[in-house]
Chain A
Amino acid sequence: MNTNSNGYTLGFLAIMVVVVGGALALVSSALKPTIDANVLLDTRTKIMKSLLALSEEDESSKLTANFVNSEYEKNVKAYLVDYNGDVVEEKIPATYDFRKEMKDASKPLENKLFPVYEYTNNGEKTYALQMLGLGLWDEINGYIALKEDKKTIKGVAFDHKGETPGLGAELVKYKFRKQFFNQSLFDTNGNYDFVVYKAGKLPANGKGVDGLAGATLTTNGIDAMVKHTAEIYKNFLNK
């Protein structure tokens, strides 16, 4: 057989496309439920991490898949608020995508919807707000949980797509996150008063979080992200 003829080449390509495409589609649809469950668990773990603000030992021992899912389903109420801080959707629709909503340039901020995760424990409420920002190489994101006064930080959880391991990627570490716990985002007059400062450069009022050494741009990105979150949720926080 002449394997160099045009007909043979085209035929070979056609069969290859069908076989490879079919195999990939099959695997992708077979694994999709598992992957979706992983993504959902990852998101819920981050939300619970910020809401619970556990100690480092508890975080690694208690936050199992079962615990996260049962605690989330029992005690977390997720809803969407508009820019005025009013609840517009009692449940977050499956079609809602925070990332898309924030990046949609055609929609002014006043028309956007923002998710809130309300956690009730012993009658006390904690609110987790979603964050999105830019690190050095790519997107950084996470959740910031505020106590019932909607001013004091309960806990935070961060994630990133491509920060430098050992430098910017350290933002996920407990050592960095615990600095946020129990700090207030606002001063006594209700003005935004919080900073993630460049390593070692403590602001005069002594408030804020010491940034990541060797990762100035990631540090600035986190600072801007927290500030932006306080800005877009400000009417909700003032209610």
Chain B
Amino acid sequence: MSDVNTKKLITDPLSDNNPITVQILGVCSALAVTGNIANALVMGVAVTLVTAFSNLTISSLRNYIPGRIRLIVQLVVIAALVTLVGEALKAFAYDLSKELSVYIGLIITNCIVMGRLEAFAMGNKPLPSFLDGIGNGLGYAAILLIVGTIRELFGTGSLLGFTFFGEEAFHNISFLKHGFFHAFFHNGLMVLPIASIFIIGIIIWIQRSKNQELVDIS
């Protein structure tokens, strides 16, 4: 395996083979947990870990897994890893685990994870599979972060909990107290998961207008 290929395993899913905007996988959670940046970040990290290590595990076992039960084996590995991530969050970041609650468990049904196992890990060696998992996890996290940033900024006027717009913005800095930052009204639509559909749609549009090869004309 050449170095160019190794690099492509990580960089491809970030743009031309992005799991959300090109493979159209994992859209459900991209709509649900992108209300603010902190949630998007933790979810991105969690999915990256699960995808990478499930790819590694399945790829190491690929020659021993009986063909007839391979989907069951894949699911067991994913479910076990997701449970580990969930327990670790509860122990070391309790507030975040409360906020993400059901969505951590739902990583099990995130199509990216199983999609990569079937499409890549079952037919490739452990190291490339591991990198493919990391690449796809990062590609997913990148979209989540973009959507999360836009939604948090315009929905609640803050970034990572720090308020930029609205009546509470800079309330202890006198020369910024009035004017531009206060004239902003929070956009209620951005708070709802529905906003993500529009944002992801626009990202897909921009990406395809830049790279015509991605346009499916069939």
A→B interface (CB under 8 Å): 3-4, 8-9, 12-13, 16, 20, 23-24, 27-28, 31, 34-35, 38-39, 41-42, 161-162, 164-167, 214
Verify B76–A16 contact, CB threshold 8 A. Answer: yes
- Can you give 9 A-B contacts (C-beta < 8 A)? A3-B64, A3-B67, A4-B66, A24-B84, A34-B91, A35-B90, A38-B94, A166-B188, A167-B188
Enumerate chain B residues within 8 angstroms of A41, measured Cβ to Cβ: 94
B76, B77, B87: the one within 8 Å of A35 (CB): B87
Enumerate chain A residues within 8 angstroms of B127, measured Cβ to Cβ: none
CB-based nearest B residue for A41: B94
One digit per residue, 1 when the CB lies within 8 angstroms of any chain A CB and 0 when it does not, for chain B 79-117 equals 010011001101110100010011000000000000000
Q: Cα distance A12–B65 when bound, in Å?
A: 8
A132 CB, min distance to chain B CBs, angstroms? 17
Enumerate chain B residues within 8 angstroms of A9, measured Cβ to Cβ: 66, 68-69
Verify B87–A27 contact, CB threshold 8 A. Answer: yes
Enumerate chain B residues within 8 angstroms of A31, measured Cβ to Cβ: 87-88, 90-91
Enumerate chain B residues within 8 angstroms of A27, measured Cβ to Cβ: 84, 87
Q: Cα distance A23–B80 when bound, in Å?
A: 9
Q: Cα distance A20–B98 when bound, in Å?
A: 25
Q: Cα distance A139–B150 when bound, in Å?
A: 29
Enumerate chain A residues within 8 angstroms of B156, measured Cβ to Cβ: 166
Verify A4–B91 contact, CB threshold 8 A. Answer: no
Enumerate chain B residues within 8 angstroms of A24, measured Cβ to Cβ: 80, 83-84
Q: Cα distance A31–B67 when bound, in Å?
A: 35
B67, B87, B155: the one within 8 Å of A4 (CB): B67
B57 CB, min distance to chain A CBs, angstroms? 10
CB-based nearest B residue for A39: B94
B→A interface (CB under 8 Å): 35-36, 39, 63-69, 72-73, 76-77, 80, 83-84, 87-88, 90-92, 94, 98, 101-102, 155-156, 188, 191-192
Enumerate chain B residues within 8 angstroms of A164, measured Cβ to Cβ: 191-192
B212 CB, min distance to chain A CBs, angstroms? 37
Given the known inter-chain contacts A16-B76, A166-B156, A166-B191, please indicate yes or no for A38 contacting B90, CB distance below 8 A. yes
Given the known inter-chain contacts A4-B66, A4-B67, A8-B66, please indicate yes or no for A165 contacting B87, CB distance below 8 A. no
Given the known inter-chain contacts A20-B76, A167-B191, please indicate yes or no for A35 contacting B91, CB distance below 8 A. yes
Query: 7 nearest interchain CB pairs?
Result: A166-B191, A38-B94, A165-B35, A34-B91, A9-B66, A31-B91, A35-B90
10 further contact pairs, Cβ within 8 A, besides A31-B91, A35-B94: A4-B67, A9-B68, A13-B69, A20-B80, A24-B83, A27-B87, A28-B87, A31-B90, A35-B87, A161-B101
Q: Cα distance A31–B89 when bound, in Å?
A: 10
CB-based nearest B residue for A34: B91
Enumerate chain A residues within 8 angstroms of B67, measured Cβ to Cβ: 3-4
CB-based nearest B residue for A42: B94
Given the known inter-chain contacts A38-B90, A38-B94, please indicate yes or no for A162 contacting B84, CB distance below 8 A. no
Q: Cα distance A140–B83 when bound, in Å?
A: 25
Enumerate chain A residues within 8 angstroms of B77, measured Cβ to Cβ: 20
A13, A28, A161, A166: the one within 8 Å of B155 (CB): A166
Interface centre among A8, A39, A166 (most CB of B within 10 A): A166
A205 CB, min distance to chain B CBs, angstroms? 28
Enumerate chain A residues within 8 angstroms of B65, measured Cβ to Cβ: 3, 12
Verify B80–A162 contact, CB threshold 8 A. Answer: no
A200 CB, min distance to chain B CBs, angstroms? 15
A59 CB, min distance to chain B CBs, angstroms? 14
B74 CB, min distance to chain A CBs, angstroms? 11
Q: Cα distance A9–B156 when bound, in Å?
A: 53
A61 CB, min distance to chain B CBs, angstroms? 15
Enumerate chain B residues within 8 angstroms of A214, measured Cβ to Cβ: 188, 191
CB-based nearest A residue for B102: A162
Verify B73–A16 contact, CB threshold 8 A. Answer: yes
A16 CB, min distance to chain B CBs, angstroms? 6
Q: Cα distance A23–B76 when bound, in Å?
A: 12
Enumerate chain B residues within 8 angstroms of A167, measured Cβ to Cβ: 188, 191-192
